[in-house]
A and B are shown apart, each in its own frame.
Chain A
Amino acid sequence: MAEVADGRLTLEQTASSVCELVVPAFADICVLDVVHEGALSRLVVKLSDPDARELEARVRLRPLPIGEEPGVGAAVTHGTSQLLSGFPEEVLQAIARNEEDLALLRSLRCTSGIVIALRARGRTLGALTLLMTEYSGRNYTAGDLEFCEVFAGRVALALDNAGLFVELQTMEAQLSVALGSLSESVTIQNRHGNLIYANQAAADMMGLATPSDVLAQPADKLVSRYDFFHEDGAVLDPEEFPGRRVLAGGEPEPLVMRVVDRESGEQAWRLAKASAVRDSAGRLTMVVNVIADITAVKRAELAQRLLAEAGELFGASLQLEDTLQQVADLCVPQLADWCTVRVVDEERRVLESVAVAHTDPDRVALVADTREYYPVALDDPGALAEVFRTGKLRCVNGITDEMLAATARDDEHLEVMRALAPCATLILPLSAQGATVGVLTLVSAESRRRFDDDDTELAAELARRAAAAVETARLYTERSRIASTLQDSLLPENLPALPGWTTASLYLPAGQEDRVGGDFYEAVPLGDDTWLLVVGDVTGRGTEAAALTAFMRHTLRAIASFTGSATQALDKLNRDLVAASQISLCTAVCVVLRERDAGAEVDIICAGHPLPVLVRRRSPEYVGEHGPMLGAYADERYELMTLPIQPGDVLVLYSDGVLDAVGPEDRFEAERLQSALMGTTGAQNAVERVQHALADFQLGAQHDDIAVVAVERVGARTRADDARHVELQPSNPGA
Chain B
Amino acid sequence: MTAREFTVDVHGDGDAVVVAPHGELDLATVGRLRDELARQSSAALLVLDLRGLSFMDSSGLALVVAQQRRAEAEGGDFRVVPGSRSVGRLFEVTGVARHLRWTEVSSELRSTVAGEPERQSPGQEAAVQTRQLSGPARE
B66 within 8 A of A: yes
What's the tally of chain A residues with a CB closer than 8 Å to chain B? Answer: 31
Determine whether the beta carbon of B99 is less than 8 Å from that of A632. Answer: yes
Determine whether the beta carbon of A587 is less than 8 Å from that of B94. Answer: yes
B62 within 8 A of A: yes
A–B Cβ pairs within 8 angstroms, 14 of them = A513-B1, A513-B2, A517-B58, A537-B58, A539-B58, A540-B59, A541-B27, A585-B58, A606-B93, A608-B95, A627-B95, A636-B95, A656-B58, A700-B2
Determine whether the beta carbon of A587 is less than 8 Å from that of B58. Answer: yes
B28 within 8 A of A: yes
Determine whether the beta carbon of A628 is less than 8 Å from that of B28. Answer: no
A633 within 8 A of B: yes
Residues on the A chain within 8 Å of B99, using CB: 632-633
CB distance from B69 to the nearest CB of A (A): 8
Determine whether the beta carbon of A632 is less than 8 Å from that of B96. Answer: yes
CB distance from B115 to the nearest CB of A (A): 24
A468 within 8 A of B: yes
Residues on the A chain within 8 Å of B6, using CB: none
B61 within 8 A of A: yes
C-alpha spacing A373/B80, complex, angstroms: 55
C-alpha spacing A693/B66, complex, angstroms: 35
A583 within 8 A of B: yes
Determine whether the beta carbon of A703 is less than 8 Å from that of B26. Answer: yes
Query: Of residues A540, A541, A608, A656, which shows the largest number of chain B Cβ atoms within 10 Å of its Cβ?
Result: A608
Determine whether the beta carbon of B61 is less than 8 Å from that of A667. Answer: no
Give me 16 other A-B pairs in contact (C-beta within 8 A), A608-B94, A608-B95, A609-B93 excluded: A539-B27, A539-B58, A583-B62, A585-B61, A585-B62, A626-B94, A628-B96, A629-B61, A633-B65, A633-B95, A633-B96, A633-B99, A656-B58, A660-B57, A700-B2, A703-B26
CB distance from A513 to the nearest CB of B (A): 6
CB distance from B117 to the nearest CB of A (A): 24
Q: Which residue of B lies closest to A636 (CB)?
A: B95
B92 within 8 A of A: yes
A629-B57 contact, Cβ under 8 Å, with A514-B28, A583-B65, A585-B65: no
C-alpha spacing A627/B61, complex, angstroms: 15
C-alpha spacing A537/B69, complex, angstroms: 22
Select which of B1, B2, B95 is within 8 A of A626 by beta carbon.
B95
Determine whether the beta carbon of A628 is less than 8 Å from that of B94. Answer: yes
C-alpha spacing A606/B86, complex, angstroms: 18
Which chain B residues numbered 47 to 77 have a C-beta less than 8 Å away from chain A?
55, 57-59, 61-62, 65-66, 69
Binary contact readout A649-663 vs B (1 if CB under 8 angstroms, 0 otherwise): 000000010001000
A629-B95 contact, Cβ under 8 Å, with A587-B58, A704-B57: yes
Which chain B residues numbered 76 to 105 have a C-beta less than 8 Å away from chain A?
86, 92-96, 99
Determine whether the beta carbon of A626 is less than 8 Å from that of B65. Answer: no
C-alpha spacing A356/B5, complex, angstroms: 37
Select which of B28, B55, B92, B95 is within 8 A of A667 by beta carbon.
B55
Determine whether the beta carbon of B28 is less than 8 Å from that of A629. Answer: no
Q: Which residue of B lies closest to A626 (CB)?
A: B93
Residues on the A chain within 8 Å of B2, using CB: 513, 700-701
Determine whether the beta carbon of B1 is less than 8 Å from that of A514. Answer: no
Determine whether the beta carbon of B93 is less than 8 Å from that of A610. Answer: yes
Which chain A residues numbered 256 to 272 have a C-beta less than 8 Å away from chain B?
none
A515 within 8 A of B: yes
C-alpha spacing A468/B2, complex, angstroms: 13
Total of A-B residue pairs, C-beta within 8 Å:
71
C-alpha spacing A537/B61, complex, angstroms: 13
C-alpha spacing A629/B58, complex, angstroms: 10
Residues on the A chain within 8 Å of B66, using CB: 583
Binary contact readout A95-134 vs B (1 if CB under 8 angstroms, 0 otherwise): 0000000000000000000000000000000000000000
C-alpha spacing A587/B95, complex, angstroms: 11
Residues on the B chain within 8 Å of A660, using CB: 55, 57
C-alpha spacing A231/B65, complex, angstroms: 62
C-alpha spacing A539/B27, complex, angstroms: 9
Q: Which residue of A lies closest to B63 (CB)?
A: A583
Binary contact readout A583-618 vs B (1 if CB under 8 angstroms, 0 otherwise): 101010000000000000000001011100000000
Determine whether the beta carbon of A628 is less than 8 Å from that of B57. Answer: no
Query: Of residues A540, A585, A606, which shows the largest number of chain B Cβ atoms within 10 Å of its Cβ?
Result: A585
C-alpha spacing A382/B17, complex, angstroms: 45
CB distance from B98 to the nearest CB of A (A): 9
Q: Which residue of B lies closest to A582 (CB)?
A: B66
Which chain B residues numbered 94 to 138 have a C-beta less than 8 Å away from chain A?
94-96, 99
Query: Of residues B1, B55, B92, B95, which shows the largest number of chain A Cβ atoms within 10 Å of its Cβ?
Result: B95
Binary contact readout A633-658 vs B (1 if CB under 8 angstroms, 0 otherwise): 10010000000000000000000100
CB distance from B90 to the nearest CB of A (A): 9
Q: Which residue of A lies closest to B66 (CB)?
A: A583
A632-B58 contact, Cβ under 8 Å, with A514-B27, A583-B66, A585-B65: no
A632-B94 contact, Cβ under 8 Å, with A583-B62, A660-B57: yes
Determine whether the beta carbon of A539 is less than 8 Å from that of B94. Answer: no
Select which of A513, A540, A585, A632 is within 8 A of B28 by beta carbon.
A513
CB distance from B106 to the nearest CB of A (A): 29
Determine whether the beta carbon of A656 is less than 8 Å from that of B57. Answer: yes
Residues on the A chain within 8 Å of B27, using CB: 514-515, 517, 539, 541, 703-704
Residues on the B chain within 8 Å of A606, using CB: 93
Residues on the B chain within 8 Å of A541, using CB: 27
C-alpha spacing A629/B62, complex, angstroms: 11
Residues on the A chain within 8 Å of B93, using CB: 606, 608-610, 626
Determine whether the beta carbon of B62 is less than 8 Å from that of A539. Answer: yes
Q: Which residue of A lies closest to B67 (CB)?
A: A583
C-alpha spacing A468/B93, complex, angstroms: 37
Residues on the B chain within 8 Å of A587, using CB: 58, 94
C-alpha spacing A537/B27, complex, angstroms: 14
Which chain A residues numbered 192 to 239 have a C-beta less than 8 Å away from chain B?
none
C-alpha spacing A704/B26, complex, angstroms: 10
A-B interface, 8 closest residue pairs, ranked by CB to CB distance from nearest: A628-B95, A608-B94, A629-B94, A539-B58, A583-B66, A585-B62, A626-B93, A632-B65
C-alpha spacing A537/B93, complex, angstroms: 14
C-alpha spacing A583/B73, complex, angstroms: 14
Residues on the A chain within 8 Å of B57, using CB: 539, 656, 660, 704
Binary contact readout B4-48 vs A (1 if CB under 8 angstroms, 0 otherwise): 000000000000000000000011100000000000000000000
Which chain A residues numbered 643 to 699 have a C-beta less than 8 Å away from chain B?
656, 660, 667, 669
CB distance from B100 to the nearest CB of A (A): 10
C-alpha spacing A667/B87, complex, angstroms: 12
Q: Which residue of B lies closest to A628 (CB)?
A: B95
CB distance from A663 to the nearest CB of B (A): 12
Residues on the B chain within 8 Å of A627, using CB: 95
Determine whether the beta carbon of A539 is less than 8 Å from that of B26. Answer: no
C-alpha spacing A629/B90, complex, angstroms: 10
C-alpha spacing A319/B58, complex, angstroms: 32
C-alpha spacing A514/B28, complex, angstroms: 7
Residues on the A chain within 8 Å of B62, using CB: 539-540, 583, 585
Which chain A residues numbered 524 to 575 have a C-beta less than 8 Å away from chain B?
537, 539-541
C-alpha spacing A517/B59, complex, angstroms: 10
C-alpha spacing A700/B1, complex, angstroms: 9
C-alpha spacing A703/B86, complex, angstroms: 18
C-alpha spacing A95/B137, complex, angstroms: 116
C-alpha spacing A295/B81, complex, angstroms: 57
C-alpha spacing A542/B93, complex, angstroms: 25
Residues on the A chain within 8 Å of B69, using CB: 583
Which chain A residues numbered 699 to 715 have a C-beta less than 8 Å away from chain B?
700-701, 703-704
Residues on the B chain within 8 Å of A468, using CB: 1
C-alpha spacing A609/B61, complex, angstroms: 13
Residues on the B chain within 8 Å of A513, using CB: 1-2, 28
